[in-house]
Each structure stands twice: as structure tokens, then as C-alpha cells.
Chain A
């Protein structure tokens, strides 16, 4: 395709304003299509869709082709000034193709990985033990140790014939251990396990060792590697290194234990270190509060001290402790940790744990459940005690139904009402969280939940993505969720869109045995790996030194980078390029600052010269201006918004309303009927609003970026905090870095998007020069409160 895209003569020459605007629109169209495809892939992870390998291939092909077109169009606009973007694109495309064909992408070559760099789709590379501890400790905040993994690639190099390679890996191990010690705050004795890895998801532990320092750790890893040489050269092995936990009592928890006389239960084994024969066994219910279904306590002499208390001392309620190594509450906590591990890892597993002398329970290792369950293999054996068939819940058991699947699966637990202010630690592990709104602020709580319900929210929201990342069954848009009785036990079946009264054993059993909701199938693993190279946005700050084509690592990076650069090119259209198209039209309403509007198709009513709000046909621009020009817009703004009072709380002065000399003309809105890009450069701050509002929620998005300010750093950061707080209340996924705030809100109804834009307009006016007044943290809270109160947003909290 040539760069001249039309037959309008000189006006469509590359570099002309018309050419730039048309190409910009094409970039926008491609960006929207990529975001839509990404959202579809993300939603597929949640279990709402049934998909197969062909879907993955098609989705990757589409995302790649659209991303390539974005790079192509940007180069068209930039006169081939961004050719490095093609290199970045090709690298990502190669990676995606490798992952599609069963590879691990660029990670495949990693030989040593610290736990913070490990996510659970890397299981073939590092084995279940490493993934389990890394994910449970790092991502979910459970009491699991930091550590590092020697990957299958590392072990293969150690077992290989090349001594230089071997030395290189050993040096990486030693350096990884040193870095681990730094993260831990000092050296510690290490525990090493050799485990099976590879694509078959074995994960079995086949060896163990101890080490005191980096050198002895490297020696132990080398000794492990020698076993590959000796016995099974084709074997994929990995090593897990982590600090050894000091234990008063230790043991295992098998999250799914088979006993013909019991319902599916969890088997807890506990014994003092070095005394495996002194073991207690308890079969715990898989449902909260995890009552023991059967116990086998080892006989102990009367004078044997027990950790944390005395034998026969009152423990829970009227129950006596007996002479068990663990208190009942500790057993219940381990059971919840076990279920959290099951959710995260996609199936039953065996946890190693230790009770420290301080009374803390720590996870120390993880293996797949080795017991086969032939009697339940098909999952149809929903049989309880005495072999009777367990009934699935009926309509009479339904407390709530409806909603949309944010993440499939089944979870049961006590209902806990949660909101933006809820502290994660206050939520019991395994609870069913019920929220009014699926706000991003709830993300911190998600890993603790057995299931999540929200009355308002969609499967496309950020919180839904977080639920899928953590495999927490979730239903959004479920009316009445917050009316569930707090503390009542309920079962959430997200696949069926239902909440049942009590604990539905048959559903939990089917889910546990078939693991169908956990997304552990190969297609899900591949999809997750693909998304790692498609979805994350790493380049967020256009002012950063590394905001360039070479640093684009994902498809999202590329389309975002291209968008920013394209906006930049548009903003610098000079008079010479404007040949053949209407000039920017100045907004004539009383505005906090001068603003020019360029119409790129249906954005303004016919006419020339100045433009007033009534002339703005662009839906997103009009909504933003309604908020910005509130004084004038009051009569036209929908009554339900109640925005009028915002003005009275703004404390604007005429001085604040006047833009500094020389900044006029830099504030530009590029608008079409359904799209607006509003760039405000007022000398001392810079903000961008980018929005698409159409009848199709899946296309809609609002992007907001705010940076700068002429007050000192503290005050600018305070204003950034204010904006961050308001954006989160508006349902944005927002982040702050210094005084840069970036917020994104996607996939919403058009009415919601327009309301959001009105708020952003009001917020822009409100926060203008506010940093000068924000002299303390208390001011932030006060101004945030005033803005939220005035705009009616406090109700959401």
C-alpha cells in the first residue's frame, strides 16, 4: 500500500494534515480492534467461552496483523521515522508463534529465575514446586518463602558436555543466591529440592539437599545435575532453592484425599522434625470451617510439650484440644491455604508446611497429589457417605442467579461484604466476597477469596482480569449480591450463574475432581502464555527516556506507543500542512483555558470560525466540555449528574482561570462523532483525554493522563493523589508514578462513558492549579472529599 491514500491531489499527499488525520483514524481503528481482540482473549480465560486451539491461532493472527498495521500507519505518518517498531513487532510475533507451537517463548532460555520473575504458566520450565511457592508467596501474599529456581534449561546445561556452559550456570546460581540473601535481609540456610518439570506437568520431588551459602548451593545443584548424567538424560528436572524454615512441627496437607467411607476431604499430617513415626493424621472437611471428619492422633507421653499450649486445654468453643500437635484453628488455616493453592495451581496438590517456634504456619514445599482417584475419575461419583448419590442443588436452593461470568468455577465459603475500604487481612481466607461494585481497589482482596460477587461490573473490567489471574470464581452484574447475609455459608457456581444456599458438596466435588473450572488445560496455559506477550502495558510514561520503539515488549506497548506518537504528530501539524482542510476552530465559550478543535469527521456542526459547545457534535468531546465548562453547561447537563455544586467547591480564582502567556494554541481537541483526543498543555501541566464512545460497549474506552505542575514536588504528588483517588472511584484502573497519573476505563455503556467524561472535564477544571493550594496531606483528603461529595461519588464507597 502506498502512502498516498486517496485521490484528492495535493491535499492527500503524505505529510499533509488530511493524510495525517486519516492515517491517525486508521491507527485508532486498529488500536480499538486490537484492544477488543485482547479483551476477548482475556475473557476466554475466565471460562465464559468454550474455545479450542483454532481460536488461539486465529486470535494471535488477528492481533499480530492489526499490530503490524498500526506500526505501518505510524511509519506512514512519521515518514518512516519509526522503523524500529517493525523490529519490536517481529520479535513479539516470533515469540507468539513459538508459544503457539508449544514453546515457552523467550523464557525458555532462562537458566536461573528468582521467584518474583516466575508466574504459574512457567510450570514446564521450573516445575510445580517452584511455581507454587512463587505464586502463593509473591502473587497471593500467602506465607510461602521467596527463593529461586534453576530451570530445566539450566539443569540441561549443567548436565551437558560444555564445561564453560556449566561454569556459567553455576555462576548464575551463586549470583541468584546472593540476590536472594539480599532480598531476605541476610544469609540463611537453604533447602533445595530436585523436581520433575517439563510439559507433562509432573512436578514430583525426586531429591533434596541443604546448603549454607551460595557456594554450597551451587555445589548441591551440580550434584543434582549429575543424576541426570547418571540415569535419565532425557528427564526434565528443575531445582527449587528457598530458605529453610525453622520448624517445631511440620508435615503435609493433601488437599484431596480419598477414603471410601468419607466424603472428599483433606488429609493433614503433622509430626515433630525427625520423628515421622510420631505423626498425627486428620481428615478435614473441604468446606469451611473445615471440621475434622476423622482423626488419628499419635500416642504421646503426658510430659511431652505441645507447641502453643497444653493437652486437653480448651481450644475452640467447648472442644478440648486433645494431644494433637496442631490446634484446630491451625488445621483450619492450613486447609484454607490448601484450597487457595488448589485454586492457584488448578488442581489437588500436597503442601509441605512448618509451624515455626513463633507459632506461624509457613508453606515450605509443594507437589502434585500423587494419589490416583480411580473411583472418581469421571467425576460422576458424586457419592457421599454410605455411597448415596449426592444431589446437585435445585432451584429451591438458589439464593441468587444471573450475572455474567467474570471467572468460571465453583467456590463456597462464608459471605463477607467487601468495599474499597476493606483491608485484605480482615477478609477470612476462602470467604465469598460480595461487593456493590467491581472496582479496581478490590484487587488486593481477590487472592484471599473463595469466590467473588459484584452487583455492578462486567467481565471486561480490570477486577475480572484479576479474578482470572487468581482463578477465583467470580460473577459480576449479579443483583442482590450485597444483600446476602454476612457470615452465611453459600456456594457460588459461576459457570451456571448461581449462588446456592449452604455448601453444595456435589458441585464442589465435581469441580475439584474434574478441575474443569481451574483452567489447567493446555489451551488455557497456552492462552496465558500468549497474553503475557500481548496484554501488559509497560510503556506508560511518554516522558520517560525508554519510551521508544525498541522498548516495546508487547502488542499493547506497540499500539500505545504508536498512538502517543501519532497524537504528537497531529499536535505539531503546522500551517503549511493544513492545506486543503479546515483549520482548528477556537472554542468561544468561557473556558478555563483556550482550546482549539479539529474536526476529523462529524465532530463539529457545519460552520467556520469560532465554535461553541452547542456546535460540538462529537459525543465524547461534548461530554468532556460539559464538565469543563460547567458554568455554561449547567442547563444542558443531565439533571441526574448533580455536578452544579462542584463549582462552588472549586475555589477557582480569575487568576487560575487565565492561561500563562504563550500556552494558547497548544490545547487541542481532535474530534470525530464518536472519538475525541484532547491534549491540554498549559505550560505547567499536561493532560490527555482519549475517548471513544459508541453504541457498542466493547469499543468504548476512556484514557486519562495527567502530569506536571509548577508547585514543588510534594504538592504535585498530592494533586496526583487526589486525581488517582477520584479516578479509582470513577472505576478507572489507575496508577501513579511521581506526579504522573494514568487511568484507563474500558468496555462500558455509552451513558457510563459520557458521565465519566463529564467528571473528567470537571476534574480537569477543579484540579487546575490546585497543587498550589495542596499544602498538606490533609488538604488532599479534604479536596478529594469535596469533589467526590459534590459529584455524588461518595455513595460508591
Chain B
């Protein structure tokens, strides 16, 4: 599956839209983030079911993954671990309503780029994505 994913990896092009996967089992979070990022010019897929999100990341690569930590079915830390194993270059932002120093530390150990506590402002998470883009040289001209 990993090889297959690589063939779908985004091509390097200055005009290519940055791709984002959003995973949160609270539908309202997906419902808010998806149109927000779409309007801002991003390609977005949003999932409330961790298994479906996992299936998706095994099929293709995303530039940015935004995931909740506490979800039914699959722990967010486990999900981000799998994402990083499949696509180490993916920038991951963790959102959670139960932020503790321990979970924050654990997230950063697993290669999380940013950590956002709920409730958060749309501008905050956009800022996180933009910093990932800047660091990875994505989404030029935005």
C-alpha cells in the first residue's frame, strides 16, 4: 500500500494546492474546517470515522493532517503514528479538548508539528497550516 501511495504522491508544482486531511469524530469540527480550508484555497478531505481516514492515508499522501486525539475506535496518537510511518513528511496538527502536558509531550515525540486546544479559532489553525507550508515550501503564492 505504501508503494501505491507513493505513486499518488503530489507532484512538485508551484501552483499545486496543499492537501489537508481532517479527522475528528465530532461532525461539527469537520463541518467547520472543511469549507473554511476549501475557501482558503486548499484541497480538503474530512473524516469523522478514524478507520476511513486511515484507509485514505494508506491510499494517498496529504501535505497536512489535522486530527483529534480522543476518538471512538482509534486513538489519535495511534493514527498520527501511522500517518508518520507512512508519510514522514506530512505535517500533523493535533486538536484536542483534553490537552495535558503529557499528551502534548507524547504528541511532539511522535513528530507532531503543532498542538491546538479546543475550542480554537479558525485563524489559529490556519496559522498552523501556513507555518507547515512555509517550512515545507508548499503552496507558494498563497
Which chain A residues lie closer than 8 Å to B119 at the CB level?
40, 44, 49-52, 55
Complex Cα gap A405–B38 (Å): 18
CB contact between A510 and one of B26, B38, B125 (< 8 Å): that residue: B38
Interface check A373, CB cutoff 8 A: no
Supply 25 A–B pairs (Cβ within 8 Å), ascending by A: A49-B119, A49-B121, A49-B122, A50-B28, A50-B121, A51-B28, A51-B118, A51-B119, A52-B24, A52-B26, A52-B28, A54-B98, A55-B97, A55-B118, A55-B119, A380-B38, A392-B41, A493-B39, A495-B36, A495-B39, A496-B36, A514-B31, A516-B35, A521-B27, A524-B28
- In the complex, how many angstroms separate the beta carbon of A574 from the nearest chain B beta carbon? 48
Which chain A residues lie closer than 8 Å to B97 at the CB level?
52, 54-55, 58
Q: Write the chain A residue with the least CB distance to B116.
A: A50
- In the complex, how many angstroms separate the beta carbon of A425 from the nearest chain B beta carbon? 34
CB contact between B31 and one of A40, A510, A516 (< 8 Å): that residue: A516
CB contacts under 8 Å to A, within B39-88, are 39-41
Which chain A residues lie closer than 8 Å to B26 at the CB level?
52-53, 523
Which chain B residues lie closer than 8 Å to A521 at the CB level?
27-28, 31
Complex Cα gap A372–B142 (Å): 35
Complex Cα gap A145–B40 (Å): 41
- In the complex, how many angstroms separate the beta carbon of A698 from the nearest chain B beta carbon? 14
Q: Is the CB of B29 within 8 A of A52?
A: yes
- In the complex, how many angstroms separate the beta carbon of B130 from the nearest chain A beta carbon? 13
Q: Is the CB of B122 within 8 A of A379?
A: no
Q: Write the chain B residue with the least CB distance to A521.
A: B28
Chain A interface mostly: mixed
Q: Is the CB of B125 within 8 A of A50?
A: yes
Q: Is the CB of B32 within 8 A of A516?
A: yes
Which chain A residues lie closer than 8 Å to B95 at the CB level?
50
Complex Cα gap A521–B38 (Å): 19
CB contacts under 8 Å to A, within B107-142, are 118-123, 125
Q: Is the CB of A392 within 8 A of B31?
A: no
Most chain B beta carbons < 10 A, residue from A48, A51, A58: A51
Complex Cα gap A232–B125 (Å): 47
CB contacts under 8 Å to A, within B1-37, are 24, 26-29, 31-33, 35-36
Q: Write the chain A residue with the least CB distance to B31.
A: A516
Interface check A463, CB cutoff 8 A: no
Interface string of A401-441 (1 = CB under 8 A from B): 00001000000000000000000000000000000000000
Chain B interface mostly: helix
A residues contacting B by CB (< 8 A) are 40, 44, 47-55, 58, 379-380, 392, 405, 493, 495-497, 507, 510-511, 514, 516, 521-524
Complex Cα gap A521–B34 (Å): 15
Which chain B residues lie closer than 8 Å to A507 at the CB level?
39
Q: Is the CB of A495 within 8 A of B122?
A: yes
Q: Write the chain B residue with the least CB distance to A497.
A: B123
Which chain A residues lie closer than 8 Å to B27 at the CB level?
521
Complex Cα gap A416–B13 (Å): 43
- In the complex, how many angstroms separate the beta carbon of A51 from the nearest chain B beta carbon? 4
Complex Cα gap A516–B118 (Å): 18
Which chain A residues lie closer than 8 Å to B39 at the CB level?
392, 493, 495-496, 507, 510
Complex Cα gap A342–B28 (Å): 20
- In the complex, how many angstroms separate the beta carbon of B104 from the nearest chain A beta carbon? 17
Closest 6 A-B residue pairs measured CB to CB? Answer: A51-B119, A54-B97, A52-B26, A49-B119, A55-B119, A50-B32
- In the complex, how many angstroms separate the beta carbon of B60 from the nearest chain A beta carbon? 17
Complex Cα gap A521–B33 (Å): 14
Complex Cα gap A44–B24 (Å): 18
Q: Write the chain B residue with the least CB distance to A517.
A: B35
Complex Cα gap A49–B31 (Å): 13
Which chain A residues lie closer than 8 Å to B38 at the CB level?
380, 392, 510
Complex Cα gap A54–B118 (Å): 9
Complex Cα gap A667–B24 (Å): 57
Query: Knowing A392-B41, A496-B40 touch, does A50 contact B35 (C-beta < 8 A)?
Result: no
- In the complex, how many angstroms separate the beta carbon of A371 from the nearest chain B beta carbon? 21
Most chain A beta carbons < 10 A, residue from B24, B29, B31: B31
Q: Is the CB of A49 within 8 A of B35?
A: no
Most chain B beta carbons < 10 A, residue from A50, A516, A522: A50
- In the complex, how many angstroms separate the beta carbon of A496 from the nearest chain B beta carbon? 6
Which chain B residues lie closer than 8 Å to A47 at the CB level?
32, 122
Q: Is the CB of A49 within 8 A of B36?
A: no
- In the complex, how many angstroms separate the beta carbon of A544 from the nearest chain B beta carbon? 37
- In the complex, how many angstroms separate the beta carbon of A257 from the nearest chain B beta carbon? 21
Complex Cα gap A511–B36 (Å): 10
- In the complex, how many angstroms separate the beta carbon of A647 from the nearest chain B beta carbon? 46
Complex Cα gap A51–B26 (Å): 9
Which chain B residues lie closer than 8 Å to A514 at the CB level?
31, 35
Which chain A residues lie closer than 8 Å to B125 at the CB level?
50
Q: Write the chain A residue with the least CB distance to B97.
A: A54
Q: Is the CB of A50 within 8 A of B120?
A: yes
Which chain A residues lie closer than 8 Å to B120 at the CB level?
49-50
Q: Is the CB of A48 within 8 A of B35?
A: no
Which chain B residues lie closer than 8 Å to A510 at the CB level?
35, 38-39
